[in-house]
Amino acid sequence: MKLVHRRMTNKEVLDEKLLFKQGSFEKVKFWVKGKHPGGKIISPDKTWSGDWETEFEETRIRPIKTFIVKDD
């Protein structure tokens, strides 16, 4: 299954792990196929895919509820 992470446009996300969650605040770790700047590059002999992978950690705030405000 090919997932695309919002920060990694056109990159294949191999896995994502939720490290911490409180309300809408989340801290996640995710792995992307290939070598990418800004992350921890992992050599092929230590990966499940057998290819180069890059590990990233990200903090994000998810919306709890969305709504539309109309000006009448």
Predicted local confidence at residue 7, as pLDDT: 57
pLDDT digits (tens, 9 = 90+) for 1-33: 344 455 555 678 889 999 999 999 999 999 999
Amino acid at 50: G
Regarding pTM above 0.85, the answer is no
Predicted local confidence at residue 2, as pLDDT: 43
Predicted local confidence at residue 66, as pLDDT: 83
Range of the domain at 24: 1-72
| 49-67 as b/e: b if 16+ CB within 10 A | eeeebbbbeeeeeeeeeee
pLDDT digits (tens, 9 = 90+) for 25-61: 999 999 999 998 889 999 988 887 889 999 999 999 9
Q: How many domains does the chain have?
A: 1
